[in-house]
Amino acid sequence: MEWIDCFDAIKLAMGDKKSITIQELARWSEIYLEEHPNYYIEKTRQDLLHEMNYKRIYIEDQEYGSDIIHLQESINCPICGDKQYKFPDVERFEKMLEIIKIWNSK
């Protein structure tokens, strides 16, 4: 039996998109497993939380509907050296990108 890591499954299910819902991931895995019956895909809630703890993805909880999985992005602050993550504070991350552009243009 072949094994597909949760993060790899998410990237395959996303294709060119930057985010998908957990429901879309589940549907993608159903279709994939119909075509490739000798595979196992990590996609449980525990697998997703494991990837989120390692800051490879961010799960946006929805009050209604399926939760959204985002690919996590990170940058290093040129001033303090701390790693800044895009989610959950997208606005701060975008401001940090602007600061880095200004910092690099000097």
**CATH C-level class of 2-71:** mainly alpha
pLDDT digits (tens, 9 = 90+) for 72-102: 999 988 778 889 999 999 999 999 899 888 8
The pLDDT averaged over each successive group of 10 residues in the chain (106 residues) is: 94 94 96 94 94 94 88 87 91 90 80
Angle at which helix 45-53 crosses helix 6-14, to 10 degrees, equals 90
- Contact (Cβ atoms closer than 8 angstroms) between residue 49 and residue 7: no
The CATH 1.10.10 portion of the chain extends over: 2-71
